Amino acid sequence: MTEFSLRDLERIVAARAGASPDESWTAKLVAAGPEKAARKFGEEALETVIAALGEDREALIAESADLLYHWLVLCHTRSVTLDEVLAELERRTAQSGLAEKAARDA
Ligand SMILES: N=c1c2ncn([C@@H]3O[C@H](COP(=O)(O)OP(=O)(O)OP(=O)(O)O)[C@@H](O)[C@H]3O)c2ncn1[C@@H]1O[C@H](COP(=O)(O)O)[C@@H](O)[C@H]1O
């Protein structure tokens, strides 16, 4: 199992956002603003759907990676952090009471 996490990628996105747009795709997207980042995210979402419906496992993995990366870039352009999204997911999980059950069953 890989040790790499979305937190690691979020840190990389934040660091590369300030680089030169000539040398960094992240910097280019961030400089273009949320509309461009949202459009790219939408394209990647569609490509992920196509990969899933096409039952192409390798394509689904690749498109999912593109999707998550572009989602982090999009959130960065709106100053939304991964931690805030995880906190929202945690709140929902706490409401359902399933976190304790998952921990017990683990
Ligand atoms: N995970 C990614 C990642 N996934 C996809 N991409 C880039 O996303 C771009 C999207 O590809 P497309 O073919 O859809 O884009 P395009 O057609 O060239 O662009 P448009 O014409 O649509 O504007 C490509 O340039 C990919 O390289 C990524 N670029 C960067 N990262 C991560 O970000 C880090 C920093 O990258 P840079 O910012 O480029 O230094 C990398 O080390 C990676 O960890």
User: For the chain, how many helices (H) and strands (E)?
Assistant: 6, 0
Give the domain CATH number at 67: 1.10.287.1080
Query: Which domain covers residue 45, as residue numbers?
Result: 6-80
Output the DSSP codes for 39-90: HHHHHHHHHHHHHHHTT-HHHHHHHHHHHHHHHHHHHHHTT--HHHHHHHHH
Residue 44 CB contacts under 8 Å (≥ 6 apart), including other chains: 63, 66, 67, 70
Asked, for residue 59, whether it belongs to a domain, the answer is: yes
The ipTM of this complex is 0.87
Q: Which atom of ligand 1 is nearest to the CA of 25?
A: 39
How many whole angstroms from 55 Cα to the centroid of ligand 1?
24
pLDDT for residue 74 is more than 90: yes
Asked, for residue 106, whether it belongs to a domain, the answer is: no
Q: State if residue 12 touches ligand 1 by the CB under 6 angstroms criterion.
A: yes
Q: What is the pTM of this model?
A: 0.90
pLDDT at 50: 96
